[in-house]
Structure 1
Amino acid sequence: MIRILLAAAVLAVASPALADEPRKSGEYAFTPDSLEQPGVQKGQLLGPYEFHSKIIAGTVRRYWVYVPVGYNPKTPPNLLVFQDGQRATNPNGSLRVPAVLDNLIAKGDIAPTLGIFVTPGNLSEHYPDNLGMSNPDHRAEEYDVVDDTYARMLLEELLPEVSRTYTFSDNPRHRMIGGTSSGAIAAFTVAWNRPDSFGNVISLIGSYTSIAYRPAADGQPARFGGDTYPGLIRKSKIRPIRIFIQDGSNDLDNEHGNWFLANQQMVKSIEWANANAEKWNLGPAKYELKYVWGDGGHSDQHGGTLLPDILRWMAPAAKKKLLLEA
């Protein structure tokens, strides 16, 4: 239950010439760990591959596989699964996950990690070539619904497909799942339903709101959304998962909810569950939690700048000092 407040000075500026300029609200600069560095070997980013799901019938999605430098199938690396893979792998985007992995693995800051970056599904025979960074049309139905359908697709279909070619750890403590916005709640839902498979969640500007809510109608029961999680967390057995949460004070406020308030509710519920685990018989596990609040809107930018330190906390190499400290 650790709150992290990072001063602007801690978020290193990419160019020394900008060092004395005041930071504008919502603007956060990359550190060198998120930028390609001279002399650092790059892992292989393979794909995109097209994948048809039977569990989420009628959908097609793309995915990429990041294979770290020095990959050895006899010593399975850690695993990172990231949603909205088209944006997570964008070399000019807000996350730049492959570059972060290259730099941290090269420095020995994190253990070797295999990455799987997957898009949401699209209701079509083939994934549209003209989508670019835009969302496929089945994203909300997969990411915002709080059941185990998406987790089953990953664990019963996509990961076995990748494992035919590459090995990766089966230890949940060495497996991370992350995303931004609806991709963040999707990541949390996978770990919530399957903590035996994923023990670490990266949640950036998470949509813990009512996007998926549908009232009861035509004989069908109501369908609930991510705004139910704070209550579920307070009244459910604690999952043995490590969670990083980030959001900004200027995030969305619309018909689905208030994003910043929703993320604060998630943090408060996790802290309450830990503090009252014995009284309410929620243990024996405890959540491991870190969080950062900024002043950004519904943007990946702040979370992207934090990603190197998030990964250092979640997947440190042996004897390396963590930079996200209590």
Structure 2
Amino acid sequence: MKIAVACSLALSLIAGAALAQSPDDAYRLGSDSEPHDGVPRGEVVGPLTLASEVYPGTTRHYWVYVPAQYDPDEPACLMVFQDGHAFLGPEGNYRIPTVFDNLIYRREMPVTLGVFINPGHTADQPEATDADWGDRTTNRRVEYNALDDTYSRLIVEELLPALKRDYAISDDPECRAISGASSGAICAFTVAWHRPDQFRKVISTIGSYVNIMGGHVYPDLVREAEPRPIRIFLQDGMNDNRGVRRGGRYDPQWDWFAQNLKMAEALEEKGYDVSYVWGIGTHSNKHGGAIMPEMLRWLWRDHPREDDPAVRGPLVPKEAEESASAGTDTDERP
């Protein structure tokens, strides 16, 4: 979905948001983010605790979503979400377990374990929550915004072995995705950037490619380096933080929307498999949550779809098949 389509989408939403209290009110969750009768529901295990030697003295909670279709004899795909608490909740902006239930059932994405991991904290710091993501109270700023490979080592050397002790996970990097919002988004990209041998799919919402810890240089790094085999979907809003600093001074290195535009341009120039949508939202998760099902479809679009209703459920819900046989068109999703 390239820039002309993205701009058209943003402009079309302006009229719908005219009477709203904020630009973010233009976005609503769709059917794919709601539970449906007849769709098998996966299990969420946790919270579990991961201690770290990469970040000494820290621990962090994580949860594992296990789809109903998971078979321990068949290695599953894997998708890791930073700021896990924000993507997990059934009443939140993303509701990933419910979205996974629906898309896996429809075979619009493969059987995928979802892992929701929080930033680390020391013994005297609180666990991150929806009310406080932990920028000032946990190790989040350092873990997520640094451009080195330290956090990718936590994921690859500490999280993955812990997961593999309990679950069958594919070793194919094409079967592994990673995602996050804001600082969690730049973090997800950094993991794939350093370890494309482990993760090759990224979803980035309201990504902080700004100068929190030098992240504004990423567009230049992308242009200067040999392309990595990474597929990435970027989302941001034109009313995201726009780089106005203290005293009203504009600093382009702190303009979230401009930096996301630069990332998309650099990735396209280097021939990456990239898609992006620019909306009218602020630094909010409402837009990203509303389009998450479509981003996931795009991310996993070329994954094989086994034609086995006993394992995955029918390609078309029974009621839709009956409507089609009666000559009625339907495009409803469960």
Q: TM-score range by the shorter chain?
A: 0.7 to 0.9
Q: Which residue of 260, 264, 268 corresponds with 1:263?
A: 260
Aligned residues: 289
Q: Displacement of 1:177 after TM fit? A: 0.3
1:175-201: per-residue Cα shift (whole Å, max 9, x none)?
Answer: 100000000000000000001110101
Q: 1:232 to 1:294 in 2, by over 3 A?
A: same
In structure 2, the partner of 1:65 is 64
Aligned 8 A contact 1:77 1:168 in 2: yes
Q: Distance in 2 between matches of 1:200 and 1:23?
A: 37
Q: Distance in 2 between matches of 1:21 and 1:116?
A: 34
Q: 1:48 to 1:204 in 2, by over 3 A?
A: same
Q: Distance in 2 between matches of 1:199 and 1:122?
A: 28
Q: Distance in 1 between matches of 2:259 and 2:122?
A: 30
Q: Displacement of 1:7 after TM fit? A: 3.5
- Alignment partner of 1:108: what SS? coil
In structure 1, the partner of 2:297 is 312
Q: How does 1:1-326 map to 2 (within 5 A)?
A: 2-3=2-3, 4-5=5-6, 7=9, 24=20, 25-26=23-24, 27-124=26-123, 128=126, 131-136=129-134, 137-212=138-213, 225-254=214-243, 255=245, 257-274=254-271, 287-316=272-301, 317-318=303-304
1:210-253: per-residue Cα shift (whole Å, max 9, x none)?
Answer: 111xxxxxxxxxxxx11010110110010011010000000013
In structure 2, the partner of 1:220 is none
- Alignment partner of 1:7: what SS? helix
Q: 1:172 to 1:154 in 2, by over 3 A?
A: same
1:113-157: per-residue Cα shift (whole Å, max 9, x none)?
Answer: 1111100011226x7368454223110100000000000001000
Q: Displacement of 1:307 after TM fit? A: 0.9
- Alignment partner of 1:64: what SS? strand
**Sequence identity of aligned pairs in percent?**
44
1:248-284: per-residue Cα shift (whole Å, max 9, x none)?
Answer: 000013446000001001011112222xxxxxxxxxx
TM-score by length of 1: 0.83
Q: 1:160 to 1:130 in 2, by over 3 A?
A: closer
**Counting helix residues as a fraction of each chain, which structure ranks higher?**
2
Q: Distance in 2 between matches of 1:76 and 1:10?
A: 42
In structure 1, the partner of 2:249 is none
Amino acid at match of 2:146: V
Q: What are the ranges of 5 or more consecutive residues in structure 1 without an aligned counterpart?
A: 12-19, 213-224, 275-286
- Alignment partner of 2:103: what SS? helix
TM-score by length of 2: 0.81
Q: 1:8 to 1:102 in 2, by over 3 A?
A: farther
Q: What are the ranges of 5 or more consecutive residues in structure 2 without an aligned counterpart?
A: 246-252, 307-314, 316-330
Q: Distance in 2 between matches of 1:140 and 1:251?
A: 19
